[in-house]
Amino acid sequence: MPDRKKLRSAEWFGTADKNGFMYRSWMKNQGIPDHEFQGKPVIGICNTWSELTPCNSHFRKIAEHVKRGIYEAGGFPVEFPVFSNGESNLRPTAMLTRNLAAMDVEEAIRGNPIDAVVLLAGCDKTTPALLMGAASCDVPAIVVSGGPMLNGKLEGRDIGSGTAVWQLHESLKAGEINLHQFLSAESGMSRSVGTCNTMGTASTMACMAEALGTTLPHNAAIPAVDSRRYVLAHMSGIRIVEMALQDLTLSKILTRQAFENAIRTNAAIGGSTNAVIHLKAIAGRIGVPLELEDWTRIGRGTPTLVDLQPSGRYLMEEFYYAGGLPAVLRRMGEHGLLPHPDAITVNGQTLWDNVREAPNYNAEVIRPLDKPLIADGSIRVLRGNLSPRGAVLKPSAATPELLKHRGRAVVFENLEDYKARIVDENLDVDATCILVMKNCGPKGYPGMAEVGNMGLPPKLLRQGVKDMVRISDARMSGTAYGTVVLHVAPEAAAGGPLAAVRDGDWIELDCEAGRLHLDITDSELADRMATLTPQPARSDGGYQKLYVNHVLQADEGCDLDFLVGCRGSAVPRHSH
Ligand code: FES
Ligand code: MG
């Protein structure tokens, strides 16, 4: 055992006085023997288990396997719950509480006798929330993801989480399937524990965590129910004890280089636009500068190699069987597409050491460089008078012909307005129009819901229209697709020019040039802005009020302004 004075936990358990007595005595009511308190690294297992977060409902079992590894390596595991924000149930959007969960994590780590922490994350927001909270403490940390669900099944074919819902709903509205066919897909789509099995935000963030170096290799893709997921949990438990002893803190892993690797990786996997916001928020916590333009500078020209839904065909099961993220990283590295192969990861090795011999078993799922799914899969950053602080679009999920488009705006003031009017057979809209929705951003919704991929007007769906340009200050589910401009900043509710768009305006989108332009004169725009009456923020108090008053815009990662930064892990004053 190392000098116990070097461990934070010794400040609780390491003294033979009144305080040490108190800290140990109450813990002993759990049946913990005295020797556990004698200088062993205390490893927190930060658990987002919840039956209301179905994607994380198997986490108590994963935690058991993490504990086995911790005990085996001579550590003392302590499991603790944090706020679990599940994407599927939580209204108005799980994004509203990402920062709340991050606060919970940060305070739980700093205030407790924890030397290092295992972050059990799965559903979309839980991964960034846990990394943000741990980064603000800068303790040694390792992410163990819950893993994706098995492939969904419908009428003998594979269907993907989320993506199938969007597709089936459009088919229903177009009259191609009936309500019975639609509803009978429910149970087949989600037939095992785990996260969405498409390359949605959960899988994307698991890949981001792996590319950042915060997980053991293969963490992102092993299916939730595969026994190798539990082996990985066990090995992560062993490893975190070593990390605690080596003081391998997050700031040594989450470097600028790590974020650059992650940005490239996001393009290669066809990852979710939500990664733009979450990576910025994590970087902000650890003190790494990251700008929206980095997604262009670093990501541009990176081909999408992974043929997964929603951009492509396959699902996470195939991705793992094909070789998972290590196979992608190896392929990237061999072609000079991994900007920093020497970035250090949680196992103490470099990213390149971890993947240099990773096999690829299926070149359809993880494609060769000369046969990419899309030649340039980097997320596009769009600026112009409509988005002075940026907007984003995911080209791999878009229709190539629409990436440069000029169209007449059909404007919805908010989601309710959209829902009420999109079904109107008399709505003045055709396939060349651009659907614009306001007031769905961080302050406006509040929480920046995933409603940016507005469904198309039913009358156009029946004509066979499959895609239209859509623009909003909302986010989009990572499982969704379409030519969708998202994260317009500043948002309408914060007085952004999006609020000034009117029905019949013309809008120009040019993804290649990175331009989003409202075709009115500067003086006309200024006049309109001067007469805007901003929509009052929707909050009745409580956490929502704190959120609305302090949330940063999308280009800044939607963190709360006072949470940005690393506050370290100095041991607080005694509690008694
Ligand atoms: Fe939880 Fe998709 S809803 S991962
Ligand atoms: Mg989502």
Convert the pLDDT of each residue in 433-467 to its tens digit.
999 999 999 999 999 999 999 999 999 999 999 99
Q: How far is the CA of 231 from the centre of ligand 2 (A)?
A: 27
DSSP helix/strand/coil, 147: coil
Q: Which of 50, 87, 479 for a ligand 1 pocket mutation test, highest count of atoms within 8 Å of Cβ?
A: 87
Phi, psi of 511 (to 5 degrees): -65, -35
CB of residue 195 inside a 6 A radius of ligand 1: yes
CB of residue 233 inside a 6 A radius of ligand 1: no
- In angstroms, the CA 477 to CA 204 distance is 11
Instruction: Provide the pLDDT for residue 206.
Output: 98
CB of residue 85 inside a 6 A radius of ligand 1: no
Average pLDDT over residues 62-85: 98
Phi, psi of 269 (to 5 degrees): -95, -5
Average pLDDT over residues 68-93: 97
- pLDDT per residue as tens digits for the range 100-133: 999 999 999 999 999 999 999 999 999 999 999 9
Q: In the predicted model, what is the mean pLDDT of the chain? A: 96
CB of residue 90 inside a 6 A radius of ligand 1: no
Q: Does the model's pTM come out above 0.95?
A: yes
Q: Which residue, among 135, 147, 139, has the nearest Cα to 117 in the 3D structure?
A: 139
> Which residue has 């929206």 as its token pair?
292
Instruction: Provide the pLDDT for residue 22.
Output: 97
Residue type, position 243, single letter: M
Half-sphere exposure at residue 459, Cβ-oriented, CA atoms within 13 angstroms: 11
Q: How far is the CA of 110 from the centre of ligand 1 (A)?
A: 28
Residues 6+ positions from 538 with CB-CB distance below 8 Å: 444, 445, 446, 544, 548
- In angstroms, the CA 183 to CA 169 distance is 10
CB of residue 88 inside a 6 A radius of ligand 1: yes
Report the nearest atom of ligand 1 relative to the CA of 53.
1
- pLDDT per residue as tens digits for the range 215-269: 999 999 999 999 999 999 999 999 999 999 999 999 999 999 999 999 999 999 9
Counting ligands in written order, which one lies closest to the CA of residue 161? 1
Q: Which of 56, 88, 189 for a ligand 1 pocket mutation test, highest count of atoms within 8 Å of Cβ?
A: 88
Residue 29 CB: number of other CB atoms within 10 A?
A: 7
Phi, psi of 171 (to 5 degrees): -65, -40
Helices (H), 310-427: 316-322, 324-334, 351-355, 415-422
Q: Whose CA is nearest to atom 2 of ligand 1?
A: 196
Average pLDDT over residues 328-332: 98
Q: Which residues surround ligand 2, an ion (CB under 5 A)?
A: 87, 124, 201, 477
Instruction: Provide the pLDDT for residue 466.
Output: 94
CB of residue 216 inside a 6 A radius of ligand 1: no
- In angstroms, the CA 170 to CA 168 distance is 5
Task: Tell me how far the alpha carbon of residue 418 is from its chain's centroid.
Answer: 26
Report the nearest atom of ligand 1 relative to the CA of 200.
2
Counting ligands in written order, which one lies closest to the CA of residue 94? 2
Strand stretches in 185-281, DSSP E: none
Q: How far is the CA of 87 from the centre of ligand 2 (A)?
A: 6
pLDDT of 5 above 80: no
CB of residue 147 inside a 6 A radius of ligand 1: no
Report the nearest atom of ligand 1 relative to the CA of 56.
1
Instruction: Provide the pLDDT for residue 257.
Output: 98
Topology of the domain comprising 380-538: Glucose Oxidase; domain 1 (3.50.30)
Report the nearest atom of ligand 1 relative to the CA of 122.
4
CB of residue 518 inside a 6 A radius of ligand 1: no
Q: How far is the CA of 472 from the centre of ligand 2 (A)?
A: 17
Instruction: Provide the pLDDT for residue 154.
Output: 94
- pLDDT per residue as tens digits for the range 281-305: 999 999 999 999 999 999 999 999 9
Phi-psi region of 201 (alpha: psi -120 to 50; beta: other; left: phi over 0): alpha
DSSP helix/strand/coil, 79: strand
Q: Whose CA is nearest to atom 1 of ligand 1?
A: 123
Please report, for the chain, the start and end positions of each structural domain, with discontinuous segments joined by +.
Answer: 380-538
Cis bond before residue 368 (omega within 30° of 0):
no
- pLDDT per residue as tens digits for the range 9-33: 999 999 999 999 999 999 999 999 9
Q: What percent of the chain has pLDDT over 90?
A: 95
Average pLDDT over residues 333-344: 98
Counting ligands in written order, which one lies closest to the CA of residue 480? 2
- Cα-based distances in Å from 272 to 177, 277, 494: 28, 10, 25
Q: How far is the CA of 479 from the centre of ligand 1 (A)?
A: 9
Lowest-pLDDT range, 231-240, 387-396, 531-540? Answer: 531-540
Counting ligands in written order, which one lies closest to the CA of residue 450? 2
pLDDT of 1 above 60: no
**pLDDT category, 6, cuts 50, 70, 90?**
confident
Counting ligands in written order, which one lies closest to the CA of residue 201? 2
- pLDDT per residue as tens digits for the range 142-200: 999 999 999 999 999 999 999 999 999 999 998 999 999 999 999 999 999 999 999 99
Phi-psi region of 60 (alpha: psi -120 to 50; beta: other; left: phi over 0): alpha
Instruction: Provide the pLDDT for residue 277.
Output: 98
Instruction: Provide the pLDDT for residue 533.
Output: 82
Q: Which residue, among 536, 556, 439, has the nearest Cα to 92 in the 3D structure?
A: 439
pLDDT of 424 above 60: yes
Is-contact 37 13, C-beta < 8 A?
Answer: yes
CB of residue 202 inside a 6 A radius of ligand 1: yes
Burial 246-258 (b: 16+ CB within 10 A, else e): eebbbebbbbbbb
